[in-house]
A and B are shown apart, each in its own frame.
Chain A
């Protein structure tokens, strides 16, 4: 557990700041590292509590809850207020620790972002900061952090404004979760608001989520983008969904996997009413039964909503990239996109491919079977094709969860910060999961997930802190074990799509 953050940093793909320095930050900082580990544990405990809270079918009032506990969810204010308070507390604690301890609360990534913002504020390129591998939008958003005024106190407040933004994004994501959980319709849960808030609390009151955003990691922004995308889709707001999809992919690439799921979900039957109002001439749903020539199938598939989504998201993505390229030239492409193609990924991380990639990177000519060049196949076949086709129309939020889970599990790099990518979608799936209905299964799955990760972390600790050569077989087998556990959990999530909703 000690090197939870280590694992994050030692191979952070997206962020890839000086991972090692971050590492050292926690390595020299056993205390701070174990503090994060503690947060981690409590995060899990918290999750368990939430599970327990929600484990009774949410339609029924939970008998086990204490009055104070249920009061938290009766009205929105107490929940969001305590979520905000939790983050404010952590933010202030972080300021104190940063000012008084050589071990920093603030994530190294945040220093990368804010350095980049400082460059931008001086009219320079954010890519002048080494290891800035993000869209310039992030640096622009954090421009207030570069503000330097008269008093050091106000400077610290300005400097923290990015963390406030990330924390606020958490809250908005939580609110969107509640909205999606309460909305009703085909494949939707339509929970009552109290139950919905209980599930949203898994995200909102999760100390791990709160810690990550107040340490200054931008993953919270991604959470809100994905939730906004999902809720726009659910509300049939196609143009908004297209804008969000294009922006999200520009921001962090991986949300492109949601495009096929959303497109597949947006069939004429579902969008029919909205489209029919606007376009009378469009083919009515159900006509496809009469003719099934290829052309008619294509034209039936290409509904106005789908075309609009594709057009809006693509043009958003292209326009954003064009603007950034005009502003910052080739370094923008190199650092934001090409970096992910050319990187070697040799450093230890949770990915099953990791050991193989380290080996192949050192002896590029020797490896006859280039696993790494076909590694994207199972990942993309599942997350961009099979899962959307089979699941998206049945339950879009769970399909997106399964996609994200697959994408992270089968990725060539996998670090603990990627787990946040699917964690935001978890509250949408849990209400009808077999993990909650069958408590033993739920606890067993959680235990397997934690244990297999723990085994890996133990090997990682031996390597990074003790200097033991644990690459083979320890780390390798641990990452394969973690992979298989994830696949098993993924299988259950997929099968759960056929379960009945609690509503």
Chain B
């Protein structure tokens, strides 16, 4: 088991090395304004039996939770996903049982997980384009990590160890949590990230755990390539080093900061075909030289969806400031109500079309979406949470640029596999629209009001019977007057003809 704790400050915010103290395997220092990343690497056989059994039959699994509360990130920890719980999964070959155990295991660990089996609930990912994509995707909104924290405390902390429980409890404030496993490394990496804020530099070594602490900040070393980011700072291995050692390095990074913001909100009234308006601060791509295009990547819960056929017409797209629908997970049922859908929902990648003005200007793109019918409910309305998309400029790096894995980089984010290996993602930060600091939007969905539904069956039946009886009675009247034979030629016309002829 290994742990890597990294404080990352912004460019130029380095701290004085003398303020860091290393004593008896404890590192302490001042408060710094930084992002904190804590990564635990656990070998397969160190895991609780339940997880061990599960992972043995998995080829690749990435669980990524993103907080619905907006957070600020710092380079190079910039990769973004829509808030909620994402899952990318490749089963071991020919292991169907493991797949069926996955959803119950997830529910056990994370709580309120709605999937039943991968076959029913997951969508296949295109893994023919680039080999690093996993095979299946799943997503659902998940408000907090509270269930995970309780599970981890129960599994990892001895009953008397208050410190262990407290450390796990700090995940309440985390913005990201990643669980990544693949058969090649045979290790589970658990990574948590706390947002850019004041953090006390403090780390304690644990028995049987090698802990490495870095206090880094952005830096521009000499000879920095355009596709690289530079970092400098102090590294300490707890229980081994007696003082931090200085370091400076550059890593190639596919996730960069576009240094602009966007927000998303639904246009009122939402109706049953709501339009999500994405407002961007700037129409200027981040890196002038290379070819860039703006994209929005959506993970839409099953209650709401985009229609690929509607998004196929160029004039229509242009009127919404969209260029094209680049990807939509398949299949997307265009008709079924939410309550019969087993599939999680759909992932959508849209290329946006910024106005081509010389001067930088704010602009909007509008994404037409459609609500499914939700199950009837008392009161006649249900709220659904729709996560913000991840918005980024995808720019192509120079010919020949290689992006070997950097120690801070995440792969398998859903959208990265849809781009070529030389693409750099310049992320636009989400800005909450409402005062509650959330990066989700709420849609009030009209449903059948169960409070008023008592008489529906009876009155419908009676009405249909009344209509039926009326029509049958009219038929009976015709029958009584002239039977079922041909048109009356003598008897009825003499009876009724006089009246009608007036």
CB within 8 Å of B: which residues of A? 16-21, 23-25, 27-28, 99-104, 108, 111, 130-131, 186-187, 269-270, 344, 346-347, 352-353, 355-356, 358-359, 361-363, 367, 369, 371, 375, 378, 381-382, 386-387, 389-391, 393-395, 406, 409-410, 437, 463-473, 476, 480, 483-484, 486-488, 490-491, 494-495, 497-500
Q: Which residues of B (214-272) have their CB < 8 Å from a CB of A? A: 269-272
B316-335 Cβ-contact flags toward A at 8 Å (1 or 0): 10111000000000010011
Decide yes or no: A483 and B337 within 8 Å by CB, A382-B472, A467-B446, A498-B482 being known contacts: no
Decide yes or no: A359 and B456 within 8 Å by CB, A102-B319, A464-B273, A472-B380 being known contacts: yes
Could you say which of A18, A25, A362, A394 contacts B337, with CB atoms under 8 Å apart?
Answer: A362
Q: How far is the CB of A375 from chain B (nearest CB, A)?
A: 8
Q: Which chain A positions have C-beta within 8 A of B340?
A: 344, 361
Q: Which chain B positions have C-beta within 8 A of A480?
A: 459-460, 463
Q: Which chain B positions have C-beta within 8 A of A99?
A: 315
Inter-chain residue pair count (beta carbon < 8 A): 220
Are B269 and A466 touching (Cβ within 8 A)? yes
Could you say which of A19, A465, A471, A486 contacts B335, with CB atoms under 8 Å apart?
Answer: A19
Kindly name the residue among A108, A395, A466 whose own CB sees the greatest number of chain B CB atoms within 10 A.
Answer: A466
Could you say which of A16, A382, A390 contacts B478, with CB atoms under 8 Å apart?
Answer: A390
**Does B92 count as interface, using CB distance less than 8 angstroms?**
no
Decide yes or no: A487 and B471 within 8 Å by CB, A27-B271, A389-B484 being known contacts: yes
CA–CA, A353 to B270, complex, Å? Answer: 27
Decide yes or no: A356 and B478 within 8 Å by CB, A362-B337, A467-B271, A471-B380 being known contacts: no
Q: Which chain A positions have C-beta within 8 A of B477?
A: 495
Are B486 and A358 touching (Cβ within 8 A)? no
Could you say which of B310, B315, B444, B452 contacts A467, with CB atoms under 8 Å apart?
Answer: B444
**Does B291 count as interface, using CB distance less than 8 angstroms?**
no
Could you say which of B334, B370, B456, B457 contacts A130, with CB atoms under 8 Å apart?
Answer: B334
CB within 8 Å of A: which residues of B? 269-273, 275, 307, 309-310, 313, 315-316, 318-320, 331, 334-337, 339-340, 368, 370, 373, 375-376, 380-381, 444-449, 452-453, 456-457, 459-461, 463-468, 470-475, 477-479, 481-482, 484-488, 492-493, 496-497, 500
Can you name 24 A-B residue pairings with CB atoms under 8 Å? Answer: A21-B370, A23-B273, A27-B271, A28-B368, A104-B313, A130-B334, A187-B487, A344-B337, A346-B373, A361-B337, A362-B448, A369-B457, A393-B487, A409-B467, A464-B272, A469-B448, A472-B448, A473-B452, A480-B463, A483-B464, A487-B471, A488-B470, A494-B475, A498-B482
Q: Which chain A positions have C-beta within 8 A of B473?
A: 491
Decide yes or no: A102 and B453 within 8 Å by CB, A390-B484, A469-B448 being known contacts: no
Q: How far is the CB of A260 from chain B (nearest CB, A)?
A: 12
Interchain residue pairs A-B with the least CB separation, the first 9? A469-B380, A487-B467, A102-B319, A469-B446, A21-B307, A18-B334, A21-B310, A491-B474, A362-B375
Are B447 and A471 touching (Cβ within 8 A)? yes
Chain B minimum-CB-distance residue to A104: B313
Q: How far is the CB of B461 from chain A (nearest CB, A)?
A: 6
Could you say which of B370, B447, B467, B485 contacts A20, with CB atoms under 8 Å apart?
Answer: B370
Q: How far is the CB of B336 from chain A (nearest CB, A)?
A: 8
Q: Which chain B positions have C-beta within 8 A of A17?
A: 309, 334
Could you say which of B273, B313, B331 contacts A102, with CB atoms under 8 Å apart?
Answer: B313
Are A467 and B269 touching (Cβ within 8 A)? yes
Are B457 and A367 touching (Cβ within 8 A)? yes
